[in-house]
Amino acid sequence: MRNLLHFLAKYNNIIVFLILEGVALSLLFSGNSYHNTRLIKGLRGMTKGVEEKIFVARRYLSLGEINTSLAAENTKLRNRISRQINEEKLLFFSVSDSLYNQQYQYTHAEVIGNSVNKQKNFITLNKGKKHGIGTDMAVTNSEGVLGVIVGTSENYSVAMSLLNIDFRLSARIKTNGYFGSLTWDGRDYKHVILSEIPQHVVINEGDTIETTGYSAVFPEGILIGSVSDIRKSGSDFYNITVSLAADFKKLNYVNIVGNLKKSEQLELENLFK
């Protein structure tokens, strides 16, 4: 109580001024339609501004949920497109076959762990066995190839990143169809090396590099990157630097691609090895 009295005594002039100012403004706005209208418009403008800021904040906070929804929708569309493509290739299909001869099944996942600065980099995802994820499934995103699943638990999976010196991928030049082996040399996370392309082949900087579909893991025609440098090695093959399409430092959501006919293909191929 003493502190309150001390405060009032110290600032009594300011308090009296504010009270009188409030009374004066009240009389001004209540007795003058012009000023009253200006006050109402000013208050509405302030309220609208606050509401817009609140809306922007809410929209920002809901981006995670929106991204998850978009990833799920993209997965559905990929599966639908894959089914339609295979249906067009068939004159007939079994009514009991719910997949209509679909070869690849797509699902989405969120990246919860990733590295780019090691010699052997891996990507951790938030889906595992109970979500249908298994080893040797391809991992991609809207930009291109990312890696391949090498380990799973019930709720999580780990993919060997394309940025791993043990990773090998069959890749081709889109313009002419020549294919070779794609690897990472452990240096720059933005570039990989395409080898085994003969030196008589015409290659230009900017040519698109994509998957061949020769393995039982990656579908054909998935973007990898573009040619950024071409050098002749001591052998009869080029040493081609490929600029990756995917930015491995900005991975959020990925697509996991499962080959439904992988076992059949591998079983037949193993007979001739």
Domain span holding position 178: 106-273
Per-block average pLDDT, block size 10, for the chain (273 residues)? 64 69 61 56 60 58 56 58 47 39 83 94 95 94 94 96 96 95 96 95 95 90 95 87 95 90 83 81
What string of DSSP letters covers 120-141? EEEEEES--GGGT--TT-EEE-
- Is residue 79 in a domain? no
What's the pTM? 0.65
Per-residue pLDDT reduced to its tens digit, 150-187: 999 999 999 999 999 999 999 999 999 999 999 999 99
Identify which of 29, 86, 59 has the alpha carbon closest to the alpha carbon of residue 219. 86
- Is residue 271 in a domain? yes
Query: Which pLDDT value is given to residue 19?
Result: 73
Query: Which pLDDT value is given to residue 271?
Result: 87
Report the number of distinct structural domains present in the chain: 2
Q: Which residues contact 59 (CB under 8 A, 6 or more apart)?
A: none
- Is residue 69 in a domain? no
- Secondary structure (3-state) at 152: strand
In terms of domains, do 113 and 57 share one?
A: no
In terms of domains, do 154 and 224 share one?
A: yes
Query: Which pLDDT value is given to residue 6?
Result: 66
Query: Which pLDDT value is given to residue 90?
Result: 38
In terms of domains, do 55 and 149 share one?
A: no
In terms of domains, do 33 and 114 share one?
A: no
- Secondary structure (3-state) at 222: coil
- With beta carbons less than 8 A apart as the criterion, state whether 260 and 105 touch: yes
For tokens 């991992």, name the residue: 139
- With beta carbons less than 8 A apart as the criterion, state whether 104 and 259 touch: yes
- Is residue 101 in a domain? no
- Secondary structure (3-state) at 44: helix
CATH number reported for the structural domain that contains residue 242 in this entry: 2.40.10.340
